[in-house]
Amino acid sequence: MIDIQGLSKHFDKVVAVDGISFKVNKGEVFGLLGENGAGKTTTLRMLATMLTPTSGTAKMAGFDIINEPEKVRGSIGILFGGESGLYDRLTAEENIAYFGELNDMDRNRIKERIKELAKVFNMEDYLSRRAGKLSKGMRQKVAFARAIIHDPDIMLLDEPTSGLDVSAIRDVHEFIKRCKSEGKTVIFSSHSMDEVEKLCDRVGVIHKGRLVATGTLDEIKSQYGDSDLENIFIRLVGGKSES
Amino acid sequence: MNLKHVWIVFKKEVKDIIRDRRTIITSILVPMILIPLLNILVGGNVEKLNRDITENITVALSESSNTEEIRNLVKNEVIKDYPNISLIEVDDPIEAIKESKVRVVLDFEEDYLTKLNEGKPFVIKLLYDKSQTKSEGSLGFIWDAIDNFNRKIVERRLDTYGISKDILTPAVIEESNIADEKESAGSILAMIFPILIVILMSSAGIAPATDLVAGEKERNTFEPLLTTKPSRLSLLVGKYLTVTLFSFITVIATMVGVIIGYVINPSSFSMGSGTNITGFSIPPVALLLVIIISITLGMTFSALQIAFSTYAKSFKEAQTYLSFLMIAVMIPGYATMFMQPKEIPVYMFFVPVLNALSAFKTVFGYSIDYTYLFYTLGSSVVYVIISLWLTASLFTKEKFLFRS
Ligand SMILES: Nc1ncnc2c1ncn2[C@@H]1O[C@H](COP(=O)(O)OP(=O)(O)OP(=O)(O)O)[C@@H](O)[C@H]1O
Ligand SMILES: [Mg+2]
């Protein structure tokens, strides 16, 4: 479903991402682990066609991010950062519908889909309220619905739990599980080992723009002879930065 | 570019902005009310001041010269032909000027009567307060009255010698204004309207332009938007059309305001200059060109505003850039404010902003030359294209979209 081939990104002299390659199968949740400045956001932005790779490419749901960016965008949903950015002067429903329209859905389909999602996320009571008047938790649910209104095959989440409180984090985790249960392919980046352990089928550890380890959790644990992912992470990351 | 996507973005942005009470107030209500208000206040005040200066001029006599004799002389000889000047009694003449009870105090020389009878000059001192506009403004009328008094005395004296008073005026001046009423009215409009239109065109888009790109970046809605199907160009055009629409709305609101101001108080247009502007009429073709040029101006500014808003790292920064842009436009506006339509050098019809200012000046100043208007139109279209190209290349460069 996702096939990343030697993806690199340079910002002037900074090499943010340095020749990353990995595959994510359909229905898998892939965790991208890395410390600050490792290149997670840059990688996800390239996959979302927001940034053009310096070299390499990736296939998303069969479409090439360089040659078919529009088709790629039509098959992905994103959730970047913890705080949900909504248009405050539009209602919750209008916020969601706007993204449906932009993704070429017809009006009736959008209506149906919003009804469906409102039930799933318990948003029926505040669909017609302005987003600016909603609580943080409500806004988050609107952002979830907006991200999957067009039922994308792939979800890209960049540190979706950063800066959130406990219950909001649980909501995000529920959301990821829901995406998985619907057969979506998910990549999400994170700082937190716990969350990665809890949710991911496979992980990739990224350090200074390079992928230093990939595999299922068990594979990685047995490869490094340690059952504590955090220790492995420190070893991977710490070892590299000494050189 | 996909027109359906452009339309979706445009529709949403318009809806979003219409719900923002602030934008509605700044782009519709304020321009609609501000101009008539300003016209009425400024125009009205200037008129009132003019009236006050010319009417109800009060004078008093200094303590030393406040005698029955002098009072009669002043009343019956000096200010007799001036119904707008009146002599009043006050306790303390100097204090009375300061308190604005009296405009000017007359102080007669002690032995004025002897001198007058002997045919020698005597002195009348005029005491006034330069810090008070009305006191200073009234001085001229007193001068006039005393001049008139002098002439009367001289005429009387000549009469006793049997000489005609014509001897006093070897040359008689007659003046006549060859500008017709239209042109004098035009020159006032030529001064005010061009700069008004240009400033409005450059300021109208500020609020929507900052909101639509810098604002969207700041509120974290920009990244999700960029990952929807539409190309960046479609998003840009949708946003651009929204900003352009709002700058037109502002201009229309202003024009409505100008008309309201005119209906309430026609003389406010002349800003108290006294010029009559009832003869005001512009050929329809020229008016159409003014509108089209204004539109190209609005399109250029909208594109530049979006460009700055894209380049800015934050909402605040965008606002700062756009205020500078507006000031940059005001400079040529004020610099050419007093330029006469007929003095405008040809090159000015090709320079950005100056070209529109010049074209408007010629139209409102009734020195329309269609060749020059088409120079302006042509160069304006070129600037629209350049500004759009600039904005499009900025908006589609990730370097500027993701500055942080
Ligand atoms: N637009 C940009 N221009 C220049 N350099 C950039 C840009 N975006 C990212 N970088 C640089 O690229 C490197 C990788 O950044 P990136 O944001 O991808 O890291 P990250 O893993 O997401 O970090 P964090 O956990 O802090 O979000 C950093 O050194 C960063 O400074
Ligand atoms: Mg990041």
Residue B216 distance to chain A (closest CA, Å): 8
Of all atoms in ligand 1, which is nearest to the CA of residue A209? 14
Q: Give residue A189 CA to ligand 2 midpoint distance, Å.
A: 8
Residue A90 distance to chain B (closest CA, Å): 6
From CA A40, how far away is CA A59, in angstroms rounded? 18
From CA B290, how far away is CA B190, in angstroms rounded? 13
Q: What value does the mean pLDDT take over residues B390-402?
A: 87
- Asked whether A79 and A160 are in contact (CB, 8 A), the reply is yes
Name the strands in the sheet holding A55-60, side by side, starting at the edge strand that comes first in the sequence. A14-24, A2-11, A55-60, A63-64
pLDDT-based confidence at B266, cuts 50/70/90? low
For tokens 């700044």, what's the residue? B26
H helices of B25-132, where? Answer: 30-38, 44-54, 68-73, 93-98, 112-118
Identify which of A48, A89, A103 has the shortest CB distance to residue B229. Answer: A103
For tokens 């206040």, what's the residue? B41
Q: Which fold has domain A2-237?
A: Rossmann fold (3.40.50)
CA-nearest residue to A146 within chain B is B224
The complex's ipTM works out to 0.91
**Whole-number Cα distances in Å, B226 to A45, A105, B304, B396, B403:** 10, 17, 21, 11, 15
Buried/exposed code over A185-201 (b: 16+ C-beta within 10 A; e: otherwise)? bbbbbbbebebbeebbe
From CA B273, how far away is CA B100, in angstroms rounded? 25
Q: Summarize pLDDT for B304-355 with one digit per residue, the tens.
A: 999 999 999 899 999 999 999 988 988 998 888 888 888 889 999 999 999 9
Q: Give residue B223 CA to ligand 2 midpoint distance, Å.
A: 13
- In total, the C-beta contacts within 8 angstroms joining chain A to chain B are 76
Contact flag A52-B398 (C-beta cutoff 8 Å): yes
Mean pLDDT, contiguous 10-residue spans, chain A (243 residues): 93 91 93 90 93 94 93 92 86 96 95 93 93 91 93 92 87 91 92 86 90 86 79 72 42
Pick the residue of B227, B233, B234, B399 with the most A CBs within 10 A to test the interface with A by mutation.
B227
- Which residues of chain A are within 8 Å of residue B229 when distances are taken between CB atoms? 70, 73-74, 102-104
Q: Is the pLDDT of residue B278 over 50?
A: no
**Residue B176 three-state SS:** coil
From CA A206, how far away is CA A43, in angstroms rounded? 10
Q: Does ligand 1 come within 6 angstroms of the Cβ of A34?
A: yes
* Protein residue with its CA nearest to atom 1 in ligand 1: B402
Contact flag A45-B402 (C-beta cutoff 8 Å): yes
Contact flag A85-B224 (C-beta cutoff 8 Å): yes
pTM: 0.79
Q: Summarize pLDDT for B132-152 with one digit per residue, the tens.
A: 777 777 888 888 888 888 888
From CA B231, how far away is CA B224, in angstroms rounded? 13
Sheet strands (E) in A72-131: 76-80
pLDDT of residue B159: 86
Q: Summarize pLDDT for B229-258 with one digit per residue, the tens.
A: 999 999 999 999 999 998 888 878 877 887
pLDDT of residue B318: 93
Write down the CATH superfamily of domain B54-168: abc type-2 transporter like domain (3.40.1710.10)
pLDDT-based confidence at B165, cuts 50/70/90? confident
Compute the C-alpha angle A140/A145/A151, nearest 5°: 145
Q: Would you kindly state where each structural domain of chain B is located, as residue ranges?
A: 3-47+181-401, 54-168
Q: Give residue B5 CA to ligand 2 midpoint distance, Å.
A: 29
From CA B89, how far away is CA B102, in angstroms rounded? 10
The one-letter amino acid code at B127 reads L
**Whole-number Cα distances in Å, A115 to A92, A93, A110, A124, A208:** 12, 10, 9, 8, 44
